[in-house]
Structures are given as C-alpha cells and as structure tokens.
Structure 1
Amino acid sequence: MTDIAPLSDDIGFLLSRAGSAMAAAAKSALVPFELRVRSYSVLALACEHSGGLGQRQIAENLGLDPSQIVALVDELETRSLITRRVDPEDRRHKRIHATETGRATCVDAQRALASSNADILAALGNEDVSALRRALKAIVG
C-alpha cells in the first residue's frame, strides 16, 4: 500500500483553489464598472500600451484564442472605453487604444481590484506577496 499525500499539499489543487477565490473576488470587484475579468484584462492591456496593440497581441498576452478577443473588443468599443485605429505600420490591421474614459475606468477598476486582492492576501506579508508574484510570473512565463 502506498502513502497518499494530502490533497491540501498538492500545488495544482492549491493554485486552482487560490485562482478560483481570486477570480470570484475580481468578478465582484468589477461589477460596479460593468466589466468582467476578461474585458477588464483587454482594457488594462490597452491602457498599458500607449501605442496600442493588435488583437493577436492581446490574445497572446491573455492566453486566449484570437477569435475570443473580437467580442471583448467590440463590447469595450461600444462603451467608448477603447477604439480601433489603423496600424501605421500595416494598414490592413487595427490597433486597440484605450480612450480617456477607458483609462479613467481602468484606474478605478484597478483600485477596486487592489482592495479586493489585499483582502484575500491579508494573511501574507508584503514580502510573501512579492515572492508569490515572482513565482507565479515564473510559472506563467
């Protein structure tokens, strides 16, 4: 008979549970902004790149299929949070840019998310949070 390690020691299980808790909290924090986690992520990326970025770049950054990005961009554009502009380097493509309204919304949403994350991560000290962030970045690549 082999010894069975406790599920509570399984890193994949713990990451999944932690991810679920963070996602649920993020979902709640984004409700006042009428954003979902994925639409917020697209908006945040657009805000990070002042020169805009292509939908394929967004898909790669988020680990999504490019076809999933179209609806997210459409939704954000309808709300005037982002705009599509012709790519000056390749006029066949569009680049996604955040609008001023989009930037303001993103700042407010980030504050709400930071507060939500702080509540979840309250059991960790600042050094542990920094170490966790570094470890997760290493895993994600």
Structure 2
Amino acid sequence: MNDVRVAAIASLTPLEELDSSPFLVDTRGQHAVCARWAVERGYVLARQLLFYGVRPDHDELWADVESGEVDLFVAANEGVLARALTSVPAFRAECARRGVRVETADAPAPAYDSAAKAAVHRRLSMPTAGYDGT
C-alpha cells in the first residue's frame, strides 16, 4: 500500500497581529496541528509549506504535486488557507482540476495566554542589536 503524502500549508501573518490572531502568527503551531492530523490518518507528512497571499496557480505550490511527492494538501483551518492563498475557492478549484485533495484539520486553535504569545514572539522576532544590514 502506498502512503498518502501530505503537504501542510501554514500561513505567514505579521507579528503585529499576535494579540488578535495568535494562531495565525504561530506557524510552528499550525504545522503541528497538520502533522497530528496526518499521523492520525496514517499519512506521511512530506512537506511543510509556508505562504502568505500566494496565487493558487503559483508554480512553487504545485512543484511537489507535479513531481509526485505530494498527494494531498492540509491546512490547520480555513483561516490559515485564507491567509496563505489569494483565493481559497480558486485553490480548491485548481486542486479539483489536478485531482489533488485539500483538507483542513479543523482543530480548534490552542489557547494562547500571555506567556504563549511571548514564546511565539521570541521564536519569530529577530534580534536587531548589532545588526549592520550586511
């Protein structure tokens, strides 16, 4: 039996939105939800994709599908897809046209208290002290 190979889509979201949408900022958390979803179904997580506002027909989105390395896309929820892609309906239509499934894990976003938000912020922010731009 061939394993179903999954590409997990996470969305980039500006750090300024951490207070209002912590899960959309937490790309590591989004990928973790997708990885659990894949494991629960006996699928293989083949790729972790990270996008913000990518066109549904963008070559990079489809490269692993065309090479036979990905059979299915999954995102943590519809909100992640909406941030990752310029058009979720167009992406779903392109998936249907290419015969590729797209799913959402639909798991509730984890609770983010101030400590969890601070941890996400530390992971995503780069130090600027001493940075000279070279």
TM-score normalised by structure 2 residue count:
0.29
Which has the bigger relative contact order, CA under 8 A and spacing at least 6? 2
Q: Which structure is higher in helix share?
A: 1
Q: More strand per residue: 1 or 2?
A: 2
